[in-house]
Amino acid sequence: MIPKFLRKGLFLTAVILAVGFSLSPFLFFVLSAFKTENQITTIPPVWLPDFSIAAFESAVFKHHLLYYLLNSLMVAGTTTLVTLSVGALAGYALARLPRRPARLILMGVLACAMFPQITIAGPIWRFLRAVGWLNQYHGLILPYVALTLPLTIWILALFFREIPEELEKAALVDGCSRSGALFRVMLPLSAPGLFTAGILAFIYAWNEFFLALLIMTDPARQTMPVGIALFQGEHSIPWGEIAAASLITTLPLIILVLFFQRRIIAGLSAGAIKG
């Protein structure tokens, strides 16, 4: 029988190795962002950089990274707001339906999210071209909202269902309308679910590449993932600038998740345990 302290040591070692393996690509990009061009291409590789900021300056000023950042912020922020607005109303409506029809509708909504992007890309592109929405922010936001709504509706419907209906009835007795009870009672109580759904929708819209590449062909309207992928060097691929831009792109998501991690965990665990 393995002693208890040895089992704990083996478990801790396995956790450290798994975390190190998962973080190693990110650590490699972080170190590459601070390397000079010669250090990146040197063989054997140089592990410790000179901590030069030349790659960051080139990414921001030469490759116009801030324009891509603003485009991504506008698209992801608007997608999140629209998705939460529609998803909260739909989730609330489904939460007040009987369980069996609500479950069938939720299954249908989730089934719509299972289609691969490549199968719907053609119809989306033809529709946007027909209405003149190619290279327009709303032309990219509309598909993003459609793709993020199913998960948002599912999370919020489960969350609304677990809020005691007596609280809503008490608000109605006190003189609130149905919409007043929703906005004054139900939505504040469902804040963890809203934060969870909103952050997941924001991360999807921030990181999405395929549809953004297909719809936004104008360099002035391209989002961050597409802009970074199209970085061009004079004679080679600018790995340093790509690493620096990727680091700048990832930091807002890391800060967002760290800042709201308690609400995210509360929202996910509530939906998983109670739903």
Look-up of token digits 């972080």 = 30
Q: Give the residue-averaged pLDDT of 47-72.
A: 87
Share of the chain above pLDDT 90, in %: 28
Q: What CATH number is given to the structural domain containing 162?
A: 1.10.3720.10
The answer to whether the CB of 50 falls within 8 A of the CB of 36 is yes
Decide if 2 is inside a domain: no
Domain count, the chain: 1
Average pLDDT, the chain: 85
Look-up of token digits 């190190």 = 20
H or E element, residue 55:
helix 54-57
Query: In angstroms, rounded to a whole number, what is the distance separating the alpha carbons of residues 79 and 126?
Result: 21
Q: Give the residue-averaged pLDDT of 13-26.
A: 88
Decide if 58 is inside a domain: no
Decide if 139 is inside a domain: yes
Shortest CA distance to 49 belongs to which of 65, 23, 27, 19? 27
Domain of 172 in residue numbering reads as 64-230
Look-up of token digits 């890391």 = 254
Query: In angstroms, rounded to a whole number, what is the distance separating the alpha carbons of residues 73 and 193?
Result: 22
Decide if 109 is inside a domain: yes
pLDDT in tens, 145-186: 999 999 899 888 888 888 888 888 888 888 888 888 888 888
Decide if 89 is inside a domain: yes
The model's pTM is 0.84
Decide if 49 is inside a domain: no
